[in-house]
Amino acid sequence: MLFRSLIGLSALVIFVRISTPVLSAEMFETEKVTISVEVLTDKLQQPWGIDFLPDRRMIVTEKPGRIRIVTRDGKMSPPIKNPPHRAYYGQGGLLDVTVHPDFVKTRLLYFSYAEQGQNGYYTALMRGRLSADETALENGKVLFRQTPAFGDPRHFGSRVVFAPDGSVFLTTGDRGNRQQAQHLHSHIGKVIRLTAEGGIPPDNPFIGRKTAKPEIWSYGHRNIQGAAIHPATGKLWTIEHGPRGGDEINIPAPGANHGWPVVSHGIEYSGGQIGDGLKAAPGMADPIVTWTPVIAPGGMTFYTGDLFPEWRGDLLIGGLRARAVVRLELNGDKVVREERLLRQIGTRIRDVAVGPEGAVYAITDETNGKVLRITPVR
């Protein structure tokens, strides 16, 4: 169900533009705080993932295949050499980036991307070491390749998240072959869990089952493009695209079946029902919230900073169709209120992240893609 009755849409009250060669800013009223939204750069091509280096600079991926470092004042590095061998195909390309938790020691970066193989395209995970002069990736190693491969250009999933125990979650999509999401001998439509070195954790739920891929954590997913670790519980939360309606947030437990395509809160794009039209079924985990119409989710994060005490613990989601940052207030694992931020800007939000200083950063899904910095006006 969509929490329409809970939605508090931000009202535009004032805007101010700062005429500088690099930055512009606008101010907006939200339900709890006035915010300033700065454009740090508008020179990225289809940015897809964003994370932070220890010195507060950003590492950003561009879907066509480039990796850049962006400073706090919006200056961009030249493309970093030796990126993953991505396939820029349909919804595929160079996708997410995640900085190793101990980057100061390891200098490791993790990337998800679409790759072409002999039989089609699939989601892959690679890690590489950022060189000391920050111009190249060194010692690149592919940690995972999704099987089977398909020619369909859709649904690569592709968020990468480190768990508190040091393992790595990678989300995948159904690659337009929905029945595969229910098959445990396939990586399609799954959450994958690996060690940081690309091995298989010994406590993965399907270890020892001959008919199942041992990398699988959960299954029955359509296309997960947002994932984050809950700061209090340490549990993985994910958000995935529904078809026509039925975007959903889940808390994937080990071995859980999240139902797609047996159950769905959406319908076919043609208007027909999906399968038997079920919204729930025995043995299949229910989402904690769904949206119809869809928000078309991008990346998401929990707010854990100090700049916005009003938002602490809230879930922030990039909305592509919503053209907003969707803020969810939570009570445990229940959504109690929704607010849509930045609707006045009217731009597709691909990913959202919290910076080390507590500001919120968002990247826009455009050929002249932007990095936005959101701070409170006190």
In this structure, what DSSP letter does residue 278 have?
A: B
Which residues are CB-neighbours of 115 under 8 A, at least 6 positions away? 84, 85, 86, 87, 121, 122, 123, 124, 145
Active-site hit among 155, 187, 221, 241 = 155
Q: Using CA atoms, how far apart are residues 80 and 142, in angstroms rounded to an integer?
A: 18
Q: Got the DSSP string for 115-181?
A: EEETTEEEEEEEEEEEPTTSSBEEEEEEEEE-SS-BS--------EEE-TTS-EEEE-B-TT-GGGG
| 185 noted as active-site residue | no
Cα dihedral 250/318/314/192 (nearest 10): 40
Tell me which H or E stretch contains 49.
Answer: strand 47-52
Q: Using CA atoms, how far apart are residues 249 and 335, in angstroms rounded to an integer?
A: 10
Length of the chain: 378
Decide: 311 and 293 in contact? Cβ < 8 Å.
Answer: no
Q: Among all chains, which residue has been given the structure tokens 């020179």?
A: 43
Q: Using CA atoms, how far apart are residues 32 and 312, in angstroms rounded to an integer?
A: 12
Decide: 371 and 41 in contact? Cβ < 8 Å.
Answer: yes
Which residues are CB-neighbours of 350 under 8 A, at least 6 positions away? 46, 47, 48, 298, 299, 318, 320, 363, 364, 365, 369
Q: Partners of 115 in the beta sheet?
A: 122
Q: Among all chains, which residue has been given the structure tokens 């950022």?
A: 130
Where in the sequence numbering do the catalytic residues fall?
A: 155
